[in-house]
Amino acid sequence: MTDARQQLLDLLLDRAYREGDFTLSSGQKSSYYINCKLVTLDAIGALATGRTIFSMLPEATAAVAGLTLGADPIVSAVSVISALEDKPIPALIVRKKAKGHGTQAYVEGPQLAEGANVIVLEDVVTTGNSALQAVGRLRGAGYTADRIISLVDRQQGGAELYEKEGLAFDAVFTIGDLQSALQARSS
């Protein structure tokens, strides 16, 4: 495991993962919750996130994007790391609703060439619907969006949805990875 990936795992376990009774954005009940923003909005966490995901991007990546709000710090971190690596990749933010004024755009950020390859980033995948919404908006803007990368896959149907939709999917960690690491810590 790379240093950045290990650091990211430690930060997720220390700050983002909690056990209890929770209702997820999908409406599902859960005995655990993962709030990645507690990591991705932290300077060290953003650095580890950006380095880890940048290393996973395909060579032909024209931009990274994600549905606001969970993906905002992730796409920004990856974009900054790409510049530091002298391979600048712009970040795009996908709105849930069209902007109510001006251009009324769903996608914010630099204008890319028609068909540009945009990788969708996500913090946590449960059902997969949030990233799928981002894919639809990006395709509607004329871009190619056929890969999703998530920090954590809760393994509750998102990967299967993406496969059914013909999308490639990678997760930095699965919920199994997090829970195994927690168990190893307590042994």
Query: Over the stretch 29-69, which tens digit does the pLDDT of each residue have?
Result: 999 999 999 999 999 999 999 999 999 999 999 999 999 99
Domain count, the chain: 1
Which pLDDT does position 102 carry in this prediction? 66
Tell me the residue range of the domain where 13 lies. 3-186
CATH of the domain at 49: 3.40.50.2020
Say how far apart CA 14 and CA 88 lie, in whole Å. 31
Answer yes or no: is pLDDT of 99 > 90. no
Say what the pTM is. Answer: 0.96
Answer yes or no: is pLDDT of 101 > 80. no
Cis preceding-peptide flag for 69 (omega within 30 of 0): yes
What DSSP element (H or E) covers 125? strand 118-125
Query: Over the stretch 114-144, which tens digit does the pLDDT of each residue have?
Result: 999 999 999 999 999 999 999 999 999 999 9
